[in-house]
Amino acid sequence: MIWLFLALTLATAPLQDNPQERPPVPKDSIEVTVIGCLSGRALKATEVRQVDVSSGPDVRSRSFRLAGKKDVMDEVKRHDKHLVEVTGLIKRSALDDRGVKVGRSVEISGGLPVSGSGRPNPADNVVVMDVSSVRLRSTSCGS
Protein backbone atom coordinates (compact mmCIF):
# COMPACT_ATOMS: atom_id res chain seq x y z
CA MET A 1 0.00 0.00 0.00
CA ILE A 2 2.82 2.40 0.87
CA TRP A 3 4.59 1.58 -2.41
CA LEU A 4 1.45 2.40 -4.36
CA PHE A 5 1.12 5.73 -2.53
CA LEU A 6 4.77 6.62 -3.21
CA ALA A 7 4.46 5.65 -6.87
CA LEU A 8 1.35 7.81 -7.31
CA THR A 9 2.96 10.73 -5.46
CA LEU A 10 6.06 10.64 -7.63
CA ALA A 11 4.04 10.21 -10.83
CA THR A 12 1.87 13.24 -10.09
CA ALA A 13 4.69 15.49 -8.80
CA PRO A 14 5.39 18.40 -11.13
CA LEU A 15 8.41 17.93 -13.33
CA GLN A 16 11.41 20.14 -12.66
CA ASP A 17 11.83 23.01 -15.08
CA ASN A 18 14.60 22.60 -17.57
CA PRO A 19 17.56 24.63 -16.23
CA GLN A 20 18.36 25.75 -19.80
CA GLU A 21 15.04 27.59 -20.08
CA ARG A 22 15.41 31.34 -19.95
CA PRO A 23 13.29 33.42 -17.62
CA PRO A 24 10.81 35.70 -19.37
CA VAL A 25 11.97 39.21 -20.26
CA PRO A 26 10.37 41.80 -17.95
CA LYS A 27 7.92 44.18 -19.63
CA ASP A 28 10.07 47.23 -18.82
CA SER A 29 13.18 45.70 -20.47
CA ILE A 30 14.37 44.36 -23.80
CA GLU A 31 16.83 41.57 -24.53
CA VAL A 32 19.53 42.37 -27.07
CA THR A 33 22.60 40.65 -28.46
CA VAL A 34 25.35 43.16 -29.16
CA ILE A 35 28.77 42.68 -30.75
CA GLY A 36 31.43 45.05 -29.55
CA CYS A 37 34.76 45.67 -27.90
CA LEU A 38 35.18 45.17 -24.15
CA SER A 39 37.20 47.63 -22.14
CA GLY A 40 36.99 46.65 -18.49
CA ARG A 41 33.28 46.52 -17.64
CA ALA A 42 32.38 48.76 -20.58
CA LEU A 43 31.17 47.50 -23.95
CA LYS A 44 31.37 49.69 -27.05
CA ALA A 45 28.74 48.31 -29.43
CA THR A 46 29.70 47.98 -33.09
CA GLU A 47 27.06 45.59 -34.44
CA VAL A 48 23.66 44.26 -33.45
CA ARG A 49 21.98 41.04 -34.59
CA GLN A 50 19.51 41.71 -37.39
CA VAL A 51 16.62 40.33 -35.30
CA ASP A 52 17.32 42.90 -32.58
CA VAL A 53 17.60 45.80 -35.02
CA SER A 54 14.27 45.03 -36.65
CA SER A 55 12.39 44.44 -33.40
CA GLY A 56 13.91 46.93 -31.00
CA PRO A 57 15.66 50.26 -30.64
CA ASP A 58 18.94 50.88 -32.42
CA VAL A 59 21.82 50.36 -29.97
CA ARG A 60 24.71 50.59 -32.45
CA SER A 61 27.51 53.01 -31.54
CA ARG A 62 26.45 53.08 -27.91
CA SER A 63 28.41 52.22 -24.82
CA PHE A 64 27.09 50.00 -22.05
CA ARG A 65 28.23 49.36 -18.51
CA LEU A 66 27.99 45.62 -17.92
CA ALA A 67 26.57 44.08 -14.77
CA GLY A 68 25.73 40.47 -13.98
CA LYS A 69 26.32 37.42 -11.87
CA LYS A 70 29.84 36.64 -10.67
CA ASP A 71 30.51 33.86 -13.20
CA VAL A 72 29.39 36.04 -16.12
CA MET A 73 31.45 39.01 -14.89
CA ASP A 74 34.48 36.70 -14.57
CA GLU A 75 33.97 35.92 -18.27
CA VAL A 76 33.81 39.66 -19.01
CA LYS A 77 37.14 40.19 -17.18
CA ARG A 78 38.71 37.29 -19.09
CA HIS A 79 37.79 38.88 -22.44
CA ASP A 80 39.03 42.42 -21.71
CA LYS A 81 40.16 44.17 -24.95
CA HIS A 82 38.53 41.44 -27.07
CA LEU A 83 35.69 41.55 -29.58
CA VAL A 84 32.73 39.75 -27.98
CA GLU A 85 29.06 38.97 -28.46
CA VAL A 86 27.07 39.91 -25.35
CA THR A 87 23.44 39.02 -24.65
CA GLY A 88 21.62 40.85 -21.89
CA LEU A 89 18.72 42.94 -20.69
CA ILE A 90 18.44 46.70 -20.98
CA LYS A 91 15.73 48.88 -19.41
CA ARG A 92 13.56 50.45 -22.11
CA SER A 93 13.61 53.76 -20.25
CA ALA A 94 17.43 53.85 -20.44
CA LEU A 95 17.25 53.78 -24.25
CA ASP A 96 14.66 56.54 -24.40
CA ASP A 97 16.33 59.46 -26.20
CA ARG A 98 13.82 62.01 -25.01
CA GLY A 99 15.15 65.33 -23.88
CA VAL A 100 13.80 67.99 -21.57
CA LYS A 101 10.17 68.87 -22.18
CA VAL A 102 9.52 72.59 -22.61
CA GLY A 103 5.89 73.56 -22.82
CA ARG A 104 3.32 71.15 -24.22
CA SER A 105 4.87 70.02 -27.47
CA VAL A 106 8.55 71.01 -27.47
CA GLU A 107 11.39 68.71 -26.43
CA ILE A 108 15.06 69.64 -26.35
CA SER A 109 17.56 66.80 -26.54
CA GLY A 110 21.26 66.36 -27.08
CA GLY A 111 20.88 63.96 -30.00
CA LEU A 112 22.17 60.44 -30.45
CA PRO A 113 25.41 59.37 -28.81
CA VAL A 114 28.56 59.92 -30.86
CA SER A 115 30.95 57.02 -31.21
CA GLY A 116 34.40 57.49 -29.77
CA SER A 117 37.22 55.37 -28.52
CA GLY A 118 38.11 54.03 -25.11
CA ARG A 119 35.97 53.77 -22.05
CA PRO A 120 32.85 55.86 -21.67
CA ASN A 121 33.10 58.93 -19.49
CA PRO A 122 31.61 58.15 -16.04
CA ALA A 123 29.89 61.53 -16.11
CA ASP A 124 27.90 60.47 -19.17
CA ASN A 125 24.60 58.71 -18.71
CA VAL A 126 25.81 55.21 -19.69
CA VAL A 127 23.17 52.52 -20.12
CA VAL A 128 23.54 49.45 -17.87
CA MET A 129 23.16 46.01 -19.46
CA ASP A 130 22.38 43.04 -17.20
CA VAL A 131 24.49 40.42 -18.98
CA SER A 132 23.35 36.81 -19.29
CA SER A 133 26.07 35.53 -21.65
CA VAL A 134 29.39 36.54 -23.20
CA ARG A 135 30.93 34.84 -26.23
CA LEU A 136 34.37 35.53 -27.69
CA ARG A 137 34.34 36.63 -31.36
CA SER A 138 37.99 37.71 -31.78
CA THR A 139 41.03 38.20 -29.57
CA SER A 140 41.46 41.78 -30.84
CA CYS A 141 39.07 44.62 -31.32
CA GLY A 142 40.57 45.73 -34.62
CA SER A 143 40.68 49.32 -35.72
Nearest to 73 by CA among 59, 62, 83, 86: 86
> What is the structure's pLDDT at 53?
47
CATH code, 60: 2.40.50
Q: How many domains does the chain have?
A: 1
- Residue 20 scores a pLDDT above 80: no
Determine, yes or no, domain membership for 9.
no
Determine, yes or no, domain membership for 7.
no
Determine, yes or no, domain membership for 131.
yes
State the number of CA atoms in the 13 A half-sphere of 12 facing the CB.
6
Q: What is the mean pLDDT of residues 94-109?
A: 66
- Residue 50 scores a pLDDT above 80: no
**Containing domain of residue 43, as a range?**
26-95+124-143
Q: What is the pTM of this model?
A: 0.64
Determine, yes or no, domain membership for 104.
no
Residue type at position 80: D
Determine, yes or no, domain membership for 139.
yes
